[in-house]
Structures are given as structure tokens and as C-alpha cells.
Amino acid sequence: MSSASASFLHGPSAATSDPSANFLQRVIDEAAYFNLFSMADGGPSNPVIRDSSGSVIGMQVRERLHRFCVSVAPSSPERPLKARNVVGEPAGRFSHRWMLAPDDWDATPDRDPPPTPLNPSRSQRFVMMDSVCAFREGDDGFQGFGTGRTLPGRDSSGNTKILITAVGTILKGFGKFSGHDAGTYVYCGSLTATNTFQGNVLLRVMDPQLDLQTDADVYEFAQQTDPEPGVTYLMFRGQAVPSDSVTPALGADQQPTGLIVVQGLRLLELDFKTKGPGGLQSIAKVGGSIGQITATVTFDISAPGGSNLDPIPFLADDQFVFFDRHGAPNAGGFHANSTEGRVFKALLVGQPAIRFGGTGEILSGSGPFAGMTGLMTDNSVVSFTPHVSASVYLLRVDDPQRKFRIEGANHPRA
């Protein structure tokens, strides 16, 4: 292993005696999760921003955030993962300016990118400026910043549409988010005909204070009409154990290009509440083992940065395999990537770790996942010494035949 790889894996400020894996896993799991479905917040459309020639270079985005339940059943050799999707009542709002940017633009929250016309026929980067997320009546929330990509796509009728993936980070919290500046949010969805975003926003916030979490039951959903009947969302957890390998990825010149990371997969259910005792709080329930991922992560191991304002970019190639009821890896799988990834360095009880978000596409599937297409997001915290982690993988699957959907609207109480 090169010195750069060793520095990234072990860190210059690692504790002299490593905490136990179980203890560090509990620290990593001190987090609040908010799984949200985003729809337009008032008005017929989002106003576009144009340059002097009239070309669209961005838009004002106003989102209404709803509770969103994704309840997954395991796959088998004959059947893929399936999920019940239930969109609940409004829970907050998110507003920003999304400005298109050159692919090599060094994005910062204090300067706009040069005017870059929208080209729906190709993938383009954009910057999420002036981001403010507020829950409940606006008293709990944060200011954020992020970057994303447009992707050319088609709806279930074959019409052209623009798909959206993005990664953002909390810059400053207010209300119950005060002091919670280690938070990552990831987007996957699409732009509607009225330039509004529709899709998933998944927020993960480090919460050592334990004031954004609860073990109590939350109230039932006020269910909304399904806004995306041709799409199914799937969600599961990544959770590494020390025996899951982490090895350097080497290029043709035998120099390190990143890491190859193995991680187990488990069932996961997320929910949250906005009212009642404790106010805004989330709940997470981890289920049984369902598979494994092998991720080849490409990034500059020696790169400086890693702060909220200077994250380290990465790419990833992910191979997912799923287990049958006997634990054998023969229940199919799929191949996905991350083309817009950001690494934020962290310390957990003196131990180096990383918080990161990645977004990309589902590229292919095998077995019962054959022919699967769509988008994927990855919202994670990982320690490498010992190797433990907590990841949330969320898939937005093109599903006009509802192959991946569990029918019925009942939402199990969390």
C-alpha cells in the first residue's frame, strides 16, 4: 500500500488505540434520516433564469417536501426486490437557485458559475446556490450547498425529459439543526414540464446529541396520490464489518487510483415525525442481511480538502448481488455507478472517517433484475480502521409495468 493510501485509510490524527468495531458502529449510527418526496411548492412553474441572449442557464427551485415511506421485501431467484411506496403529508420546504455550470467548474457557494446554456441532449453539471431547507413551520432547518448533474432521459411514454441527481451538504443549521453541520443530502428525480423538480431527497445528519432521533412510534401517514406511477423507489442499507475487505485500486501503471470496498446489505425502513413530544425526530429500523456490494471508488487519494466547502470528488462503479433465503448469492443483482460524488472528511471519537454522497445511474441487471434502469443515490459514513459503515442506497427504478412495486397503500407503522 502506498503512503497516500495508508494516510487516507488510517489518517494522520487516528487515535492511538482503536475503538472496538461495535462501539464505532454505534457512533456512526448516531444519525437522523429524513426520507422525503419532493413536489412543486405553489405556483404553476419554477421561473427560469436566462442569459442576455435568452438561453436558459438556471432556475429558481421551490420544493414542497413530504414524508416518504419505502418498505422493501427481499429478492429471490425468481423475484427482484419489491417495495411499497407511500407519499405522506407535507413536512417542509426547500428553495434554491440551480445554475448550470461547466463540467470543470470549481463550485463554491459564494460565486455563480459562468453562464452555461441548458442542453437537454447531454449531461451537464449544475450548482445548487442559496439553498434553504425548513421543516414544520420554518423553525427547524439549515442552509446548504451542493452540485448535481442533469441526465437526458425519457418517461414511460417515450417522451424526452431531464433527469436530476445531486449531492449537497449542510453549511449551517437553525432550530433543531443548530450545531448539526455534518449532514449530507442526495437527490434523484426529474424535471417536470413546468420546470419543477419531482423525486426523492434523502437527508442524513450526524446526531451525537441524539435530539433528532426517537425510538417511539410515529403517527400514521396522511397519504397522498402517487405522483410517479411509472417509477418505483427501492431502499436498503449498506453495513460493513471489519472482515469486509478494503484494498487499493491500482491503475495500469500500478499506482493507486482509489479503493475497492466490500460491504454487506441489509433491509432498512426510515420514517420521521414533525410534531408531538420532541418535535422533529426520525426513526430507523435495520432488518436482515440481503446481499453484498463491491464498490470500486476512484478519487485522488492525495487530494487536499474534504471540508464542507471543499469536498473531494469521486467516481464509483458498484456491483450489487443479492442473497436467497439460504444466504447464497444467487438472487440476482445489478450494476450501477456514481458520476457525481463528494467526500467529506470526519472524525468520530478521534477516529478518521468519511461522510459522502454519490449519485449516478443503474446500468444493467441480472436474474430477476435483468433490464432494470434508473437512478441511484448513496448516502454514507464509513470508517476504515476498523472497517464499519452505515450507508443508505436508494434506487429510482423505471417501472411502468410495476415489476418492482408491492401494490396496496398500507403503511406499516414505524
pLDDT digits (tens, 9 = 90+) for 207-265: 999 999 998 888 888 888 899 999 999 999 999 999 999 998 888 888 888 899 999 99
Read off the pLDDT of each residue in 24-34 and give the average, rounded to a whole number.
Answer: 96
- Grid cell at residue 287: 432488518
Count the domains in the chain.
1
Find the domain containing 45 and state its range.
3-398
pTM above 0.75, yes or no: yes
Evaluate if residue 11 carries a pLDDT over 90: no
Q: Is residue 144 part of a domain?
A: yes
Evaluate if residue 116 carries a pLDDT over 90: yes
The identity of residue 330, as a single letter, is N
Q: Is residue 410 part of a domain?
A: no
Q: Return the DSSP state at 278.
A: T
Evaluate if residue 96 carries a pLDDT over 60: yes
Q: Is residue 88 part of a domain?
A: yes
Mean pLDDT of the chain: 90
Q: Is residue 411 part of a domain?
A: no
Which of the residue ranges 174-183, 245-254, 300-309 has the most confident prediction, judged by mean pLDDT? 174-183
Q: Is residue 313 part of a domain?
A: yes
Q: Is residue 409 part of a domain?
A: no
Contact call for residues 333 and 365 (beta carbons, < 8 A):
yes
Q: Is residue 29 part of a domain?
A: yes
Read off the pLDDT of each residue in 297-320 and give the average, rounded to a whole number.
Answer: 91
- Grid cell at residue 141: 432547518
* pLDDT confidence of residue 22: 92
Question: 290 pairs with which residues across the strands?
Answer: none
Q: What is the pLDDT of residues 342-395, one digit of tens each?
A: 999 998 988 889 999 999 999 999 999 999 999 999 999 999 889 999 999 999
Q: How far apart are CA 405 and CA 350, in angstroms?
A: 43
Percent of the residues in the chain that have a pLDDT greater than 70, as a whole number:
92
Q: Is residue 267 part of a domain?
A: yes
* pLDDT confidence of residue 381: 96
* pLDDT confidence of residue 156: 64
Percent of the residues in the chain that have a pLDDT greater than 90, as a whole number:
76
